[in-house]
Amino acid sequence: MKRKRGLLAVLLLLACSSLDIEELPTEVTLTVDRTSAAVGEEFEFTWEATGSFLAGAVLDFGDGTPADSLELEGAQRATARRTHAYAESGSYVVTATIEEANNETASDAATVEVTGG
């Protein structure tokens, strides 16, 4: 039995050593379903990210409300959709930022206009 365990360990080591982790550029793209809306109407934001070992993402709505954070736990690709409504009229810059495990970051931004109120 001991010999089988040793052989299994060698096979697992060989299998794991041949795995290739794809090197991907650290990138994020932020899109919004529309560029303007009235106070209280929701915008839908979508971000898509790639990287070699993504650690986390933050979506900042630009209005002082708490940013939306997401842990990515080593993913190489991630996508998320979030909705947000603004309480006051104005122009807001929304920023999506991703961070790799090596602290490399990438950001993208979109501007939305809120009218009325």
CATH label of the domain that carries residue 81? 2.60.40.10
Residue 10, domain member (yes or no): no
Residue 32, domain member (yes or no): yes
pTM: 0.80
List Cβ neighbours of 14 (8 Å cut-off, separation of 6 or more): none
Cβ-contact 90, 112 below 8 angstroms: no
Residue 109, domain member (yes or no): yes
Per-residue pLDDT tens digits of the chain, which is 117 residues long: 444 444 444 334 434 444 566 788 999 999 999 999 999 999 999 999 999 999 999 999 999 999 999 999 999 999 999 999 999 999 999 999 999 999 999 999 999 999 997
Amino acid sitting at position 41: E
Q: What are the tokens at 56? A: 């986390």
Residue 76, domain member (yes or no): yes
Enumerate the β-bridge partners of residue 79: 48
Q: Which domain holds residue 68?
A: 22-115
Residue 15, domain member (yes or no): no
Enumerate the β-bridge partners of residue 68: 59
Residue 12, domain member (yes or no): no
